[in-house]
Structures are given as structure tokens and as C-alpha cells.
Amino acid sequence: MAPKTDQRDMIYLDYAASTPVDPHVADLMADLLKSSGEHGNPSSAHAFGRRATTRIAHAAVQLGALLNVDPASLTWTSGATESDNLAILGAARLAQHRGRHLITMRTEHKAVTDAFDRLQREGFEVTWLDPGTDGLLDLAALEAEFRADTQLVSVMHVNNETGVIQDIAGIGALCRARGVLFHVDAAQSVGKLALDLAELPVDLLSMTAHKVYGPKGIGALYIADRPGVAVEPLLYGGGQQRGLRPGTLPTHQIAGFGLAAEIARESMHDDLERLTGLRDRLWGGIRDLPGIHVNGAKDARFPGILNVSIEDVEGESLLLALEPLCVATGSACNSTNSEPSYVLRALGRSDALAQSAIRFSFGRPTTGEEIDAAIDRYRLAVGKLRALAPECAA
Amino acid sequence: MSADPYSGRVRALFEHPVHAGSLEQAPQVLIEDQGVRIALTAQAEDGRIRAFRFRAYGCPHVVAAAEALCERYEGRPVAELEAFEAVDLVRDLPVPAEKTGRILVIEDAARSLGKTLRDVSGS
């Protein structure tokens, strides 16, 4: 299952950007795409349509089991970006009679910040909260920002750049006590960390399949079955999915997501244990380098991500010198942009340190040998670039 | 969607900067601007550059451009270094437009070193 490219010496350590499709998932999807598979339109009343509908219903049960929710509370989307947009734009616009004040964090994914930017242009008022230097949201700071007209709070579970885990139970409790809707972008945590939505005070939760060994192009939005929790659609069409997200459902992708969720549920404990070992092995191999810093909280951090900055090393050159390691400088969406990460800047990192940041992220196929190779390559690259750099001018 | 931002020439120069380093007892110019730090040092004899070395803190295009500069001007008349124009490197490597400013830092350093070499040699 190693995600090799055509160059056999490539080492993929960018699982936070995307994961390879699990072979069982790929096999299932391939079978469904064959002429003997499920090509019927799930909206059709005939046997082919009913079979496709059954497949989709089964996938909802699988994903629902992972999150401990009623499958009927899940709406299929094209991925987390669409889920975020549907949740934020859909909820804010539908319930604007309740208030037009919204709260989010500066360290959210662009799929969230851009949606809030859009709402600001529509006349909503947005409070942008800064995290502490550890990347965590101070609950007291959040509490201080609530107003009578606050309608929605959106905070991601696991940060895609740093792996910092927010206290969504605490944030959700504050929201629930005030009757404020709470949306969580859980693209980086669904299938990786235990999420019991029957217990957590979360109203809307976005997820995607391709971060958890499922296919790209399919995601879901959880909408809690509670009074006052609803969104208005962004798309209009055939009325599928109760009109919330119309369009012919992609049976093979949904089935793939369902199976990926089932596999994640079964392997989560072992995955977390392995990822922790790999993360600690990598950090243990580079932590003695002078001027190296971990970005994000010491403890409340997802073990599948290690984000480090290093002094006196230029980030873009570091990324190139690290080849054949496939890692990220910031979020994958920003990988072609040499601007310092806005997430790391919000944590108080200088431009130079933010720009030198490398995000290593690990997955099920990652081996200890790959980690050892990454350690060697990182040390070599840092040494080379530091030797290349002149002393600072006096 | 991202195509490879580096040409084969940039990759080769970045990977094997054979002119990286410094020269003892030789004139040196150090300039820091636009997030780039470049140090150039050269030994001249009979009006020609006998040895040319660089150190650089910057993106891969900056490192490659500094290496290409040394490669090109080692053995050439000092006067040519004084007239160096970064546009040649920008075109040859090539360097993307948004990074041109960084290569101009190298141009400033090269011209300054050329003048220093001329002043030192009295030519």
C-alpha cells in the first residue's frame, strides 16, 4: 500500500494532505464501477436504483457507526470544503433572524475562513479569535466574545498544519449553554481520533474521505437532529438528500467512504499507537538540532503530524533539499506559495521561522525505515543550507 | 495543482554548488535585502577573476543564480563583473518574475564586488 510515485526512492510523508486509497476500498469501488456493479441511479425506483440506494444506506450506517450518530443525520458532499461551506453559509443565512454575529479562529482552514469572509461581505459580523502560542483556543477568550446576537461558532478539531487538537467538548458546551450553533471542521480527525457525536455538543461537523484512506471527491456533513439546527442549501436541483444537497449520488465513492470509515473504526487504536511511535521517533532524531522548534501544543497534538521550524534555514530551499521526501511547508493548499503560513504567524512565529516550517505527516503505510531516512535527510539538508549561508551582517 | 517550479538547470546548480564557500584574504561583499543574504568573494589577478565563491541564504533560485554567477565569471575580466546584469541569469535559469527582485540583490553584490576588485588592484 506504499504510495510510491514513479520514482522509487520517493518517501511520502504528507498524509495530512491526502492518503492513498486503502486497497480494500479501491477494490470495492472498482467492482462497483464495472458493468456488473452498481451503475443505477440511486434516485431511480427500479431494481438497479434500489440496489444503489441500499449501497449508499449501508455506507451511511458505516460512517454513522464511526461517529456514533444516526445515519440519517449525514449529508453527502464533494468533500470537506463543500461541507464547511454548506454548514457555515447554510446555517448563518438560514438563521440570520436569530443574529448576525459569528465567531471563528484565524487558524482555521481556508475553506472556513473564506466562507466567513463571504458572510462578512454579506453584512454578517465576524469575530476572529487568535490562538495562544500553543495554537489552542482559550475558552475564556471565546466566552468573552459571545453576544446576544451570536449565532454560530466554527472551530476546527485538528489543525491541518500543526495537528493541534482543540477542546471541542469545552467549546461546544459554551455554545450550547447560549443556544449558539457549533460547527467543527473535522477533516483531519474523522477516522483518526475517537469522535462520539452522541456525547459531544457539536451541531454541524464536516468531514472528507480522502484523509482517511478513502477516495477524493466525497465527504459528508453531519447535521445534529436537534431543534434549531438546520442549514439552507447552496445548490438547487433534483431534490436529493432532502433538498439539502441535490445531485445524483456517486454510489462508488460513497461506498468507498463507508468502507474506509469502517476500516478506520477497526484500526483507530492501533493507528494511533503506531503514529505516536513514528512521530516520537522522528522528533527524537532531530530534536538536538540547534534552533529547532515544534509548532503547536506539546500535548494536545494529533500524533500523525509533526510541524517543525528551524532557525537560519530558508524554507523553500529546505523543502527542495529534502527531496526525495514528500512533505509540506504549510497546508497543502499553500504549498506553491512561499508566503509564511498564516496559521504559524497566528501562533506568533516570526516570518522567517514560519517560512522554515516543515510539516511531516504520517499514515498507516509509513515505516520506521522511512522515518529514519527522513531524519537523515532533514539533518543533511539543514547542515548543507546552514553551511551555505553567510554570517549575518553586523 | 503545481508543476515543478524549478528547471533542470536550477536543480543542478542548487544540488551541486561547487563554488559555495569563501576565500581567505580576498575582497568580500555581503548584502542582505528582500529576505536574501548573499556574500560574494573573489581573487583577481592581472585584471581577471581567478577564483570566485559565494554564500547565500535564500530560495533555490537565489542559490542557483549565485552559483551560475560564479561559474560564469570565474576566469573573466573584472570589468565584466562590474557590468553584470541579472537579466541574463533571470532568462537563463529561468527565474520566475516574482523572484526577480531577489536576483537583483545578487546583481548589486556582483557589481559592488567588481568595483572593489578594481579598486584593490588599482586597475
Task: Pick B30's closest partner by Cβ from A316, A336, A390.
Answer: A390
| Residue A23: cis peptide before it, omega within 30 degrees of 0 | no
What residues are paired with A301 via a beta bridge?
A164
Q: Which segments of chain B are extended strands (E)?
A: 28-33, 36-45, 48-57
CB atoms within 10 A of CB B54: 28
**What was the pLDDT predicted at A332?**
40
Give the pLDDT score at B50: 96
> For every one of its 394 residues, what pLDDT tens digit does chain A have, with 9 covering 90 and above?
454 445 568 999 999 999 999 999 999 999 999 999 999 999 999 999 999 999 999 999 999 999 999 999 999 999 999 999 999 999 999 999 999 999 999 999 999 999 999 999 999 999 999 999 999 999 999 999 999 999 999 999 999 999 999 999 999 999 999 999 999 999 999 999 999 999 999 999 999 999 999 999 999 999 999 999 999 999 999 899 999 999 999 999 999 999 999 999 999 999 999 999 999 999 999 999 999 999 999 899 999 999 999 999 999 999 999 999 999 985 343 444 567 899 999 999 999 999 999 999 999 999 999 999 999 999 999 999 999 999 876 5
- Per the CB < 8 Å rule, is B60 touching A316? yes
Give the mutation candidate from B63, B70, B93, B106 for the A interface (greatest A CB count, under 10 A): B63
Q: How far apart are CA A346 and CA A225, in angstroms?
A: 35
B6 → closest Cβ in A320, A338, A393: A320
pLDDT at res. B122: 62
End-to-end Cα, chain A, rounded Å? 52
The chain A residue lying nearest B37, using CA atoms, is A390
Find the mean pLDDT for residues B31-37.
93
Q: A338–B20: do the CB atoms touch at under 8 Å? A: no
Report d(CA A389, CA A204) in Å as an integer. Answer: 49
Cis peptide upstream of residue A340 (ω within 30 degrees of 0): no
Indicate the residue type of A155.
V
Is A333 catalytic? The answer is yes
Which of A6, A7, A313, A317 to substitute to test the interface with B, most B CBs within 10 Å? A317
Q: Could you say which residues from 63 to 82 on chain B have a Cβ atom under 8 Å away from some Cβ of chain A?
A: 63
How far is A163 from A112, CA to CA, in rounded Å? 17
Q: For residues B91 and A310, give the distance between their C-alpha atoms in angstroms, rounded to a whole number.
A: 32
pLDDT of residue A340: 87
Name the percent of chain B lying above pLDDT 90.
Answer: 88
Looking at the complex, does the CB of residue B32 fall below 8 Å from at least one CB of chain A?
yes
* A148 shares contact with chain B (CB less than 8 Å): no
Quote the DSSP letter at residue A250: -
Query: Rg of chain A's alpha carbons, rounded to an integer?
Result: 22
CB contact under 8 A, A317 and B60: yes
Backbone angles phi, psi at A85, to 5 degrees: -65, -45
The C-alpha angle with vertex A297 and arms to A295 and A303, in degrees rounded to 5, equals 85
Q: Do the beta carbons of residue B120 and residue B44 sit within 8 Å? A: yes
A390 to B14: CB separation less than 8 angstroms, yes or no: no
- The CA–CA distances, whole Å, from A214 to A25, A109, A180, A197, A357 equal 7, 20, 32, 21, 28
pLDDT of residue A394: 54
pLDDT at position A9: 81
Q: In sequence order, what are the residues at sequence separation of 6 or more whose Cβ sits closer than 8 angstroms to the Cβ of residue A1?
A: A20, A22, A23, A364, A365
Using a CB–CB cutoff of 8 Å, tell me whether B25 touches chain A: no
Contact criterion met (CB < 8 Å) for B56 and A390:
yes
Whether a cis peptide bond, with omega within 30° of 0, leads into A3 is no
Contacts of A117 (CB under 8 A, 6+ apart): none
Q: How far is CA B61 from the centre of its chain?
A: 11
Chain A environment of B56 (Cβ under 8 Å): 388-390
DSSP A143-199: HHH--TTEEEEE--SB-TTT-BBP-HHHHHHHHHHHT-EEEEE-TTTTTTS---TTT
Contacts of A389 in chain B (CB under 8 A): 37, 55-57
